[in-house]
Amino acid sequence: MISALTARACRRLSFSRAPGRTLRHVGALSLSSPRHYSVDSHAGLRSILKVSEEVQDAIATNKPVVALESTIYTHGAIDDLGLEDIVRRNGGVPAVCGIFAGVPTVGLLPHEISRMVSEKAHKVSRRDIATLTGKGLLGVNEHGGTTISGTMVLAKLAGIRVFATGGLGGVHRGAEDSMDISADLTELGRTRVAVVASGCKGFLDIQRTLEYLETHGVVVSTFLRGRQPDKVTFPGFWSVESGLKTPSTIRNEEEAASIILAQEKLQIESGLLFANPVPETYSIPNAEMDAIIEQAVAESARRNASGNENTPFILKRIRELTYGKSVAANLALVQSNTESATKIAVSLAKMLEQSKYPCKMLIIIGTYQMSLLQADILVAGSVAIDVTCDYTGMDSDTAPQPHLHTSNPGRVSQLVGGVGRNVALAAYRVSSGSGVRFCSVVANDNAGTSVIASLASLGMDVSCIRKLDASINEDLRTAEYIAINGSDKNLFLAVADMNIFTSSAIPDDWEHIIGQSKPKWVVVDANWNASGIASITRAAKKSDASVAFEPVSQVKSERLFDGVSKLGVFPRQSIDLSTPNHYELGSMYKAAKQNGYLEGRTWSSCYDAINSPDLDANLRELASKRRLEIDVLRQAIKLLPYIPTLITKLGHDGAVLAQILPKGDSRLADPDESQYVFKAAGASESGGVYLRFYPPAESVKDAVSVNGVGDTFLGILIAGLAAGGRIDRLIDVAQKGAVMTLRSPESVSPHLGDLSRAVLEAASSK
């Protein structure tokens, strides 16, 4: 009888399998931790835990997976949650956990959840899982909606790292007498799963809950959500603020993902709580909620409600006393938490994927070979410690610039930045992190270590960040950039120590790096010296990659036309694209003229063909209509033979695109584009020039910082071009991204991912 029962149970409890696929293990995501269980080594687990086909496949292929509890369905007060749709919309796979017909299940299907609700599932914590499962082995098919602790157990067994819920259980008021402490807290103390919640239920003793979590070594961190770190308190569930100091803060979901990964690599087994405040629109003032909670708790005490009866009674009374506002807040916060958890899971999946392919050694000066995966975009440029000083003097309203030769009051912040890093990060964020490689150098110092850690925490590929050995040159330091801005956020003065990028200690193996990466686009910034720029450009062209040049500054922009480097002319150009501001364009033109680039038969032949009378007349009309300098426009046309696509940034006045169109370009015959097209004369290899003014995306009155705005613009353009887009259709999207960074305290807005769809649409439009 025992053998028959076992055989029957194993048949009924076995994993569901994808057609033609052999299930190897549940914990396929555990790249670095043996403690995310492998079913191959835990045969007993394989025979008792059911994982849906979709979730099983997602875990095995490192897709982002978000665990969801089932009590929110079986014992919740809201019917239409839409949580699984939220996970899918944000690029994840939902995994509702629970006990279905006596089987612990990860990835409950809709009809299974409906049946659990209709057949009145039990409420299941950690302690109850084995009880219902054991009964299931004997044919007693009871359902269980798992609480936070129960869901954490099942999620960990399946290899899921991130879990979204509404509010955590905690220490109840009066727990010193009742000992009423939620199992959620002890679970967080021993199970390494990241829980995204809006704090703990507001009627609990929040202060003691935080103390309990601290005792058990649980990471507790609250999202800033646009607030200053010193102004953030732990969420009050229905209220944005509880008034109690949060143990720590995090800026965004990428940072949360990096903490999860670090916790796992360090093999620290306790859980993590990321507190996400209820959306401001639905927040109920803390003072108002405190009075309501006090009344509900007092009524519960008078009724002698305890254990499983206590929480439902209190929640019911709060719903009644807030006239349903608490229900609306409940729905909003759990949906917000689910979205945030999915973004964490997406970022974490990217980091884990990259950690499969670490560089074979720490990149230090010397001869080495490394194996690199293909990347659509390779950015070779600077990374630096950015120090920003914003003037805040009493006269800042009338005199926005700081005073010379004296100390000025201001606000100082420090971040990791650098032109190349910013361009790469913008491309990475707007393209969802796919196919972007950043190559740069740092010194073997504390700042260099911090830079690499920062880039890795963002999920970026750091396999080509070289850490130069200071023993070769003790003066080598990780680059640093100090910007002093006026109160209007416009740059007043900057000092840059970028000597590491012009050092002779930098190895020259760009052909190997670019040849293995096989990028569609290479971006090189002018922080490298002239020979470095030329070396990177030659290697890119040898691999048939297009090249974008970021001028960086007036002085550094001249390095492209240094008088030594030989630059190709259209249609065999060395540089395909550049996005200077009008000051940098002037410097580039000046250097080109002084060093003999604007003479000679090859340049003259190309320039004479594109410089038609109609084009010059349009230049004058455009300059007059848009109040632009005619010389700026003419300088751009003269540089086009060397840089066939030039976008001159005009700050708050917009941008001008000047582009040589090859013969056969569809715009040459498109009547909708005829106002921008000026056809070439004679037997030129060019079909004509495309000249178009783009007004600014919007007039920004609430700028936070100008740092990184131009870099963001270029990064988005390159992401769109690498996806097959046309430059004239990408500029408006790039300007929108630049505005997002202008409003961000970071050098690249963390919200650029919101433009991913717009970039793809611009790239795919005909």
Q: What is the CATH number of the domain that holds 463?
A: 3.40.1190.20
Domain boundary among 356, 373, 391: 356
Using CA atoms, how far apart are residues 241 and 228, in angstroms rounded to an integer? Answer: 13
- 417 and 336 in a common domain: no
What mean pLDDT is predicted for residues 482-504?
Answer: 86
Indicate whether 58 pLDDT > 90: no
Please, which residues have CB within 8 angstroms of residue 246's CB and are 6 or more apart in sequence? Answer: 220, 221, 222, 232, 233, 234, 275
Q: Are the CB atoms for 417 and 444 separated by under 8 Å?
A: no
Does 92 reside within a domain? Answer: yes
Indicate whether 470 pLDDT > 70: no
- Give the residue among 431, 437, 302 at the shortest CA–CA distance from 372: 437
Q: What percent of the chain has pLDDT over 90?
A: 48
- 55 and 36 in a common domain: yes
Question: How buried is residue 667: exposed, middle or buried, by Cβ count under 10 Å (0-12/13-18/19+)?
Answer: middle
Using CA atoms, how far apart are residues 269 and 186, in angstroms rounded to an integer? Answer: 12
Q: Residue 33: what pLDDT? A: 32
Does 652 reside within a domain? Answer: no
- 185 and 141 in a common domain: no
Residue 88 or residue 9, greater confidence: 88
Residue 426 in tokens = 């913008």
Does 411 reside within a domain? Answer: yes
- 189 and 154 in a common domain: no
In whole numbers, what is the pLDDT of the chain averaged over residues? 84
Of all residues in the chain, what percent are helix, strand and coil, respectively (each to 5)?
A: 45, 20, 40
Residue 49 in tokens = 């835990």
Q: Pairing mode, if any, of strands 686-694 and 677-679?
A: antiparallel
Q: Residue 19: what pLDDT? A: 32
**Structural domain containing residue 193:** 161-356
Beta strands in 205-267 (DSSP E): 219-223, 249-250
- 472 and 543 in a common domain: yes
- 265 and 116 in a common domain: no
- 455 and 442 in a common domain: yes
Indicate whether 6 pLDDT > 50: no
Residues 177-190: pLDDT tens digits? 667 778 888 899 89
Residues involved in catalysis: 69, 201
- 203 and 127 in a common domain: no
Q: Which of 167-171, 274-278, 495-499 has the lowest mean pLDDT?
A: 167-171
What mean pLDDT is predicted for residues 189-210?
Answer: 86
- Give the residue among 728, 730, 748, 729 at the shortest CA–CA distance from 739: 748
Does 583 reside within a domain? Answer: no
Domain boundary among 112, 134, 159: 159
Indicate whether 114 pLDDT > 60: yes
Classify residue 285 by its DSSP letter: P
- 56 and 99 in a common domain: yes
39: left (phi over 0), alpha (psi -120 to 50) or beta: alpha
Q: Residue 359: what pLDDT? A: 34
CATH number for the domain harbouring residue 120? 3.40.1790.10
Q: Residue 8: pLDDT band by 50, 70, 90 thresholds? A: very low
Q: Residue 41: what pLDDT? A: 35
Count up the domains in the chain and report the number: 3
Does 644 reside within a domain? Answer: no
Residue 732 or residue 463, greater confidence: 732
Q: Residue 161: what pLDDT? A: 95
Residues 376-407: pLDDT tens digits? 999 999 999 988 898 998 887 788 899 999 99
What mean pLDDT is predicted for residues 406-429?
Answer: 92
Residues 13-37: pLDDT tens digits? 333 333 333 332 333 223 233 333 3
Residue 432 in tokens = 């969802």
- 293 and 417 in a common domain: no
Using CA atoms, how far apart are residues 647 and 635, in angstroms rounded to an integer? Answer: 12
Q: Residue 739: what pLDDT? A: 94
Domain boundary among 126, 159, 192: 159
Does 753 reside within a domain? Answer: no
Q: Residue 765: what pLDDT? A: 67
Does 759 reside within a domain? Answer: no
Residues 115-144: pLDDT tens digits? 999 998 999 999 999 999 999 999 899 999
Indicate whether 259 pLDDT > 70: yes
Q: Pairing mode, if any, of strands 655-662 and 686-694?
A: antiparallel
Q: What percent of the chain has pLDDT over 70?
A: 87
Q: Which of 281-295, 465-479, 495-509 has the lowest mean pLDDT?
A: 465-479
Please, which residues have CB within 8 angstroms of residue 726's CB and are 6 or more apart in sequence? Answer: 762, 763
Classify residue 168 by its DSSP letter: B
Q: Which of 351-355, 450-454, 520-524, 616-620 has the lowest mean pLDDT?
A: 351-355
- 506 and 372 in a common domain: yes
Residue 264 in tokens = 């796992």
Using CA atoms, how far apart are residues 168 and 216, in angstroms rounded to an integer? Answer: 15
Q: Which of 364-368, 580-584, 678-682, 736-740 has the lowest mean pLDDT?
A: 364-368
Residue 391 or residue 81, greater confidence: 391
DSSP class per residue in 555-584: HHHGGGG-SSS----TTS-S--EE--BHHH
Residue type, 474: E
What mean pLDDT is predicted for residues 262-280?
Answer: 90
- 299 and 209 in a common domain: yes
Does 314 reside within a domain? Answer: yes
Residues 678-724: pLDDT tens digits? 988 766 788 999 999 999 988 888 888 788 999 999 999 999 999 99
